[in-house]
Amino acid sequence: MNEAAPQEFQEWSVDQWFNHEGQLRLADLRGRVVALEAFQMLCPGCVTHGLPQAQRILETFSKDEVAVVGLHTVFEHHDAMQPHSLKAFLYEYRIRFPVGVDRPSEKGIPETMERFKLRGTPSLLLFDRQGILKAHHFGAVSDMQIGAEISKLLSEEND
Amino acid sequence: MNEAAPQEFQEWSVDQWFNHEGQLRLADLRGRVVALEAFQMLCPGCVTHGLPQAQRILETFSKDEVAVVGLHTVFEHHDAMQPHSLKAFLYEYRIRFPVGVDRPSEKGIPETMERFKLRGTPSLLLFDRQGILKAHHFGAVSDMQIGAEISKLLSEEND
Amino acid sequence: MNEAAPQEFQEWSVDQWFNHEGQLRLADLRGRVVALEAFQMLCPGCVTHGLPQAQRILETFSKDEVAVVGLHTVFEHHDAMQPHSLKAFLYEYRIRFPVGVDRPSEKGIPETMERFKLRGTPSLLLFDRQGILKAHHFGAVSDMQIGAEISKLLSEEND
Amino acid sequence: MNEAAPQEFQEWSVDQWFNHEGQLRLADLRGRVVALEAFQMLCPGCVTHGLPQAQRILETFSKDEVAVVGLHTVFEHHDAMQPHSLKAFLYEYRIRFPVGVDRPSEKGIPETMERFKLRGTPSLLLFDRQGILKAHHFGAVSDMQIGAEISKLLSEEND
């Protein structure tokens, strides 16, 4: 599912990172296309489809051109998916790209999920070189489609 | 991998069950062939291979003839795989057959794992109608092989 | 699909064999369980499902216990599936077990297909050690089910 | 495998078409990116990988932007893969895009295969909107990579 995306820059909201030292902001990735894989560690569709696809994005494109980032955005079973559990999950599934923990809010829906209006997991968000959200997929989408969309963003002017 | 199996009856060691009221002992299943799928919720081979195969055993054979039982046997990342997390995992992966929690011991290797000399997860153990362990597979084994082994146990005398 | 099978012995009708010298009759295989994979070389379900499953039967069971035999039973596109084309197909798909050409009849439906009342391809027929047809599957059937059925036939008395 | 491609326009060499009335020249497709899937009907890698991928290209991109064309380029088992057999194959595998028969030559290697220096089947050739060969893959290549390459060609100037 591809939905109309807002046209202004919005930053994600993350305090804690795995596979990355210090903070990592979307703004820091300016100049590269960014693929953000939003997932929950106990979501079967994320384990079967979303995360392996993120891994294939990493293997297909140059790291200088495309940044792959995970977002652990927990909106259910909070007790079962705390950061210490996520750490074990990332180790066992050999996920080596940066993964941020979406900042919890009192409402149960974490902040980035709310800000980008995610409908659930897995969701794949593609940002252009200026950090503007250009594609927003909820659920399964084919590798060929994602390859085409990323390539289209890469071919746009880098100004 | 199929290893020589001891010939005497041994009970598993489980206090807590999901998808089952009260206790469930191997001895209670006398008269049926038993397929015990030993797994950890954060083990990729269990999620990809072991648990779906257990599900296919359930769908292939009559419940009156073959009992499928899961054993959550945690020997690493203990904090990340506590029973409350397992509960969420079973819900999300729609696992409906009985799953017992292997009783922890001070040594880190839980009791049933130690007793049956499991080498890791996933492990699939097949017991005959008298509850004697007859096959012990560690890692991936084909559906055709498992179907053949269960059928062979079913064809043995029920005395 | 599993259909009621006749209880008397019936021989297949084949003149020409690939991967086998001379004639090969069902009667010659007495003492072994026989898995007969009926296929057409231009049938997608045969290429995707039936023939790979026949190959897995070959790999799972001892050749002394289970014989795997192919039957090329052409009932459509006759010109495109002549024996010289079948020969190239078997070479390219690396099929090494014996494959017989179902004997054509004037009606278009070849003789073995007619005799065993095959409904189409792929069809998998299982014969017991006496050569009696015991299971007849049209279309896809799971590996676990086939493994169980063959094992059941193997456990029957060999008299 | 991606090889350096010549930079001048070259036409393919085809007399006979399936799924298309009359002749279809590469030059006729000017303005569109062209994906040419070169295959043999008895090549397992073509059936498993190449042709399904061509089908996914067809489903992913607009027909006004990307033309998918098959080329039956027979260099072995000539007797088994004559046009009347290809016709049955296309029908059974439900291939609906235009498929041309590479023109045979006396040397055994058909003319288009020789002209484009194909190394075997499956081969996927991508031509830009002017009909210039821009990518040449022999064997399996990922959907994500192909999606990216087609999209890149689409984003080039259409002059």
Task: Give the residue on C whose Cα is nearest the Cα of B146.
Answer: C144
Beta strands across the sheet bearing A123-127 = A14-18, A99-102, A66-72, A33-39, A123-127, A133-138
pLDDT tens-digit readout, D120-134: 999 999 999 999 999
* CB proximity C81 to D under 8 Å: yes
Query: Could you give the percent of chain D with pLDDT greater than 70?
Result: 95
Helix axes A143-155, A51-60, angle to 10 degrees: 40
Contact A24, A151 (CB under 8 A): no
Distance of CA A83 to the CA centre of its chain: 16
CA A131, A136, A141 angle in degrees (round to 5)? 130
Instruction: Look up residue B131 and give its amino acid.
Output: G
Distance of CA D71 to the CA centre of its chain: 5
CA distance A58 to A126: 13
Contact A43, A34 (CB under 8 A): no
C-alpha torsion angle, residues D80, D84, D88, D93 (rounded to 10): 70
Is B92 in Cβ contact with A43 (below 8 Å)? yes
- The whole-number pLDDT of residue D1 equals 43
Q: Is the peptide bond before B6 cis (omega within 30 degrees of 0)?
A: no
Residue with more model confidence, A159 or C13: C13
Given a cut of 60, whether residue B6 has pLDDT beyond it is no
CA distance B127 to B26: 9
Out of C56, C60, C151, the one facing B152 most closely (by C-beta) is C151
CA distance A91 to A18: 10
- The whole-number pLDDT of residue B1 equals 43
Given a cut of 60, whether residue C88 has pLDDT beyond it is yes
Q: Which residues contact C90 (CB under 8 A, 6 or more apart)?
A: C18, C19, C99
Q: Which of A128, A143, A147 has the alpha carbon at shortest distance from D152?
A: A147
Query: Could you give the percent of chain B with pLDDT greater than 70?
Result: 95
Pick the CATH number of B14-154 from 3.40.50.1220, 3.40.50.970, 3.40.1360.10, 3.40.30.10: 3.40.30.10
Contact A128, A5 (CB under 8 A): no
Give the bridge partners for C2, in sequence order: C137
**What average pLDDT does this structure show over B104-131?**
96
Given a cut of 70, whether residue C1 has pLDDT beyond it is no
pLDDT tens-digit readout, C22-31: 999 999 999 9
Interface test with B, best of C151, C154, C156 (most B CBs within 10 A): C151
Interface test with A, best of D2, D144, D153 (most A CBs within 10 A): D144
Q: With bands split at pLDDT 50, 70 and 90, how would you rate the model's confidence at D107?
A: confident
**DSSP character string of D50-88:** IHHHHHHHHHHS-TTTEEEEEEE---S-GGGG-HHHHHH
* CB proximity B141 to C under 8 Å: no
Fold assignment, D12-69+92-116+140-159: Glutaredoxin (3.40.30)
Give the bridge partners for D124, in sequence order: D37, D137
pLDDT per residue, tens digit, chain A (159 aa), is 455 555 799 999 999 999 999 999 999 999 999 999 999 999 999 999 999 999 999 999 999 999 999 999 999 999 999 999 999 999 999 999 999 999 999 888 999 999 999 999 999 999 999 999 999 999 999 999 999 999 999 999 765
- The whole-number pLDDT of residue A103 equals 97
- The whole-number pLDDT of residue C49 equals 98
Query: Could you give the percent of chain C with pLDDT greater than 70?
Result: 95
> Domain segments of chain A: what residues?
14-155
Domain C14-155 falls under CATH 3.30.70.890? no
* CB proximity A145 to D under 8 Å: yes
What is the token pair recorded at C52? Answer: 């790979």
For residue B88, which residues of chain A lie inside 8 Å, CB to CB?
Answer: 42, 77, 79-81
* CB proximity C154 to B under 8 Å: yes
Neighbours of chain A (3+ CB pairs under 8 A): B, D
Distance from CA of D142 to the nearest CA of A (A): 8
Q: Which residues contact D15 (CB under 8 A, 6 or more apart)?
A: D101, D103
**What average pLDDT does this structure show over B98-119?**
96
- The whole-number pLDDT of residue A1 equals 43
Secondary structure in 3-state letters for chain B: CECCCCCCCCCCCEEEEECCCCCCCHHHHCCCEEEEEEECCCCHHHHHHHHHHHHHHHHHCCCCCEEEEEEECCCCCHHHHCHHHHHHHHHHCCCCCCEEEECCCCCCCCHHHHHCCCCCCCEEEEECCCCCEEEEEECCCCHHHHHHHHHHHHCCCCC
CA distance A77 to B90: 12
Given a cut of 80, whether residue B131 has pLDDT beyond it is yes
pLDDT tens-digit readout, D9-64: 999 999 999 999 999 999 999 999 999 999 999 999 999 999 999 999 999 999 99
For residue B146, which residues of chain C lie inside 8 Å, CB to CB?
Answer: 144, 147
Given a cut of 80, whether residue C91 has pLDDT beyond it is yes
CA distance B110 to B114: 6
Is B146 in Cβ contact with C151 (below 8 Å)? no
CA distance D42 to D89: 9
> D36: helix, coil or strand?
strand
For residue A50, which residues of chain B lie inside 8 Å, CB to CB?
Answer: none
Distance from CA of D89 to the nearest CA of A (A): 26
CA distance D19 to D10: 23
For residue A88, which residues of chain B lie inside 8 Å, CB to CB?
Answer: 42, 77, 79-81
